[in-house]
Structure 1
Amino acid sequence: MAQETRSYSVRQYMTALKQKVETTPAVWVHGVITQISEKPKVVYMSIADFEEGSVIPQATVSLTCFGAKFAAIKAKVASFDNPFEIKPQLKVQLLIKAEVYVPYGKLQAQILDIDPVYTLGELALTKSAILRKLATEGLLDKNKSVEFAEMPLRVGLITGEGTAAYRDFSTKLAESPFAFHVVPAFAKMQGNETESSVIEALEALRADTELDVVCIVRGGGSKTDLTFFDSEALCRAVANYPVPVFTGIGHEIDRSLLDEVAYQACITPTDCAKRLIERASESWEAMVRAARDIAEGARDCLGTYSAGLTSVGHRLQQILSKRFLEEKTTLAQIAVSLKKDMHFLFQSETGRLQRNADGLRQGTRKIIEFEKARFELSEQKVKSADPKQVLAKGYTLTLNANGKFIRNASELKPGDRITTRFRGGDVTSQVL
C-alpha cells in the first residue's frame, strides 16, 4: 500500500515559508534603486543588480519601509557633510530583513537602515569618472576659450521663476550704472527635472544671437540640490555653448561639475551679477583711459605740429613775398608789351576797316548792276516761254476735255474730244 503524501493549503505553505524566511538575519545588500514610491505610511522601493553597460537587471528585490523609519533614514543622510537625495539610479547599501507577504505570496524585505558612506563613495566615483571624461575630451576649458564681450550688456538668465535668486541677480544689475538687458529663460532648479529643464532653457536662449553671456543661478538651499548640477549631459551642453556661461549656484564651499565647465563659477547669484558689473566697469575705465591717452597724445602732436607749422608759415611767407615781387615785375613788363601790341593792332585794324568800307562802297554799285542785268535776262526768258509767244510763232497747243495740255499721243484714245489752240482761235475735234 502506497505511503500517503501530506498536503498543505496555500496559506499553510506560505506561512511556513514566512516563518522560515524570517529566521534569516538582517544583512547589508547593495544595488541600484530602480523604483521608489512614497506613501503616507509606507515607502515602496526596488533595487537591482546590473552588468556594466546593460540596462537589464540581473536580479531585483522589492523593499518596504515604514514612513517613520524612512524619515529617520533621510534625516541620517541629511546630517552628513555631503548629503544626497534618495532617488532612482542611485547606488545604495541598505540593511534589510527578509519577509514574505502571505496574501500575495511575495518575497520582499523591510529596510532597516542605510549606509550613506557607501553611496557617497559611489557618487564621488561617478563624479570623478565624469570629470575625467570631460577633461579627456577637452570640455573643461572649451567654454572658457569662448570670446567674452568687453561690455556684456545683453544677459541671458536661467533660474527659477519668481525666486529670490532671480530678484537678487536682476536687482544687482539694475543698481549698476550700466544699461544691462536681461533675457530670462525659467527652469526647474532642483529635483529630477533639473537636467532637462536647464538644457531646454539653454536651447531657448541659443536662438538669441545677440546675447553676450548666459548666467545659470539659484539661491542657497539643501546641499542635496547640488547633485543635480553634476549631470554629464548638462555639463556637455554648457561646455559646447557658443557664448560664455556663468554659474551662481548658491553654494559657497562645494563645487558642482557644472562649475568646472563654466566660463566663470560664482558663489551666489549676486556674485554672478557683480562679476558682470566688474567686467563692464573695467571696459569703461579702459575706454576712458584710452580716450585720455588719445587726448594727451593729440595735444602733444598739436603742439609739435603747431611749432612746425609756424616755421613753415614763415618760410612760406618769405617765398610768397619773393614770388609776388617777381610776378609783379613780370606783369608790369607784360603790360608795357601789351600796350605797344594793342596800339599796333589798333592801327592795323583801323586801316583794314577803312579798306573794307571803300570796297563796300564800290562793290555795292557793281553788285546792283550785275543783279539788274541778270534779272532782265530772266525776264526775257519768262516772256519767251509764254504760250502766246509760242502761238505767235505758228505753233499750236492741244488740250483734253479737262483743259490740260497733251504732250504725247499715247495720252489719247479713240472717242476723246480734244481742243487745238491756234493764234487766231481754238478748234475742237474728236479722236478716231
Structure 2
Amino acid sequence: MALETSADSPAPLRSISLALQGWIGKLGAVWVEAEVVQPKLSGNTYYLTLRDLAANLSISAIAFRAVVESSASPITDGTRVIVHAKPEFYSPNGRLSLKLLEIRPTGEGELLAQLERRRQLLAAEGLFENRWKQRLPILPTAIGLVTGKGSAAERDVVENVRDRWPGASLEIRHALMQGSQSATAVIAALRELDAASHVDVIVIARGGGSMEDLLPFSDEALVRAVHAAATPVVSAIGHEPDVPLLDLVADLRASTPTDAAKRVVPHVGDELAGLTAARERARQAVAAQLHREAAGLAALRSRPVLRSPSAFVDAQQDHVSGQRERARRAMAARLDRAHDEVGHHLARVRALSPLATMHRGYAVALDGAGRAVTSIDPLAPGDELVLHLTDGQATVRVTDLQEHPHE
C-alpha cells in the first residue's frame, strides 16, 4: 500500500526504510544470471558483487561459505553464474543486497564443472597415478608425432628435433586437433603409432587455444587410450591455465610443442660436450689411479726387504750361523765335561778294581771249589790253591800254615 505523505505531513525516514524493506521482502527468492566480481571471504561469509552481463550495473551480494564452496567448480573473479538469491534491504544504512541461496557456474564455468567431475571420476580409478607413468627413452631413434597438418605445432616439433638430434626419425600422423571428431582422430593416430614397434615415444602436440578448443583433449576415451598405450606419451597441448585431462594421464606434460621436442631428445652439442667432459674425467681418474698405484709400488720397493731382498736372507743366514756356532761350542763344552766326568769315574773304578790291587803285588787265591780263600782256617797242609795273578794263574800246594798275630 502506498504511503500517504505531503509537505505538511512528511513520513519519518524510518517509515520509508521499513516500507522499502517490506516491499523488497515481498519479491521473494529469484533466479539471476550475472558475472561474479571480486569475491572475498571474511570469516564464514563471502562478500561479492554481481554484475549484469550486458548493462553497466551491479549489486552487492553475500553468501555463506558453504554455498560458494559447494559449487562444482571454483567461483572466481569473472565467473558467469546463475544464482538463486533473496533480495534484502538493510534499513540501518539503506543498503540493498542479494543473499545467495545457491550458485551454479554457467557457460565456461559449467564446462569447467563438468571437466572437474570427469577428472575426479578418472582420478578415483587411478588413471593419473605416478605408478603408471613410463620413463622416456634417453635417445629415441623414432619419435611418433600426432598433430594438425601444416600446424605451427608440427613445425616447432620437427624443427627442434632435427636441430637437436638429427639422428632421430619422425613418424608423423595428422589428425583433427579441435572439433567433435578430434578425439576420435587423435585416438586412431595414437593407436597406429603405438602398434609400430620401432616408435620409442609419441608426442601429441597442439599450440594452445581456448578452453572450448581444448575440450577434445579432455575426452574420456582419449584419456583411457593414452593410459592403455604401451609407448610413452608426451602431452604438448599448450600453456593454458586450464589443464586438459590429457596432461594428467600422459607420461610427461610439456608446456609447448617446442618444450616437448626439448624434453624428448637431447641437444647433440650438449651430449658431445658431456661426452668430452666424461672422457676427460675418466682420463683424470685413470691417471690419478695410476699415480696412486705407482706411489704405492714405489713405497713398497723402498722397503728394505724389497730394496735388497738378499740382505734379509743374509741376516737370517748370519743368525743361523751364529746359532749353529753357539750350539757347536755348547756341545763341545758339554762333551768335554762329560769326558772329564767319565775319566773321573774310570779312575775311581780302576782304583776300586781288584786288578789294580793285583798290580801292586797281590794275588787272588781260589780253592778247589773256585771259592776265594781269605783265611787260613779252612786250609791244611797239602791243599792245592790256584793263584790268580795280573798276567795269568799258578797252582800251588800248601806246605805250611802260619797265623799272623792280630794287631
TM-score (norm 1): 0.42
Q: Which has the larger radius of gyration?
A: 2
TM-score (norm 2): 0.44
The structure with more helix, counted as a fraction of residues: 1
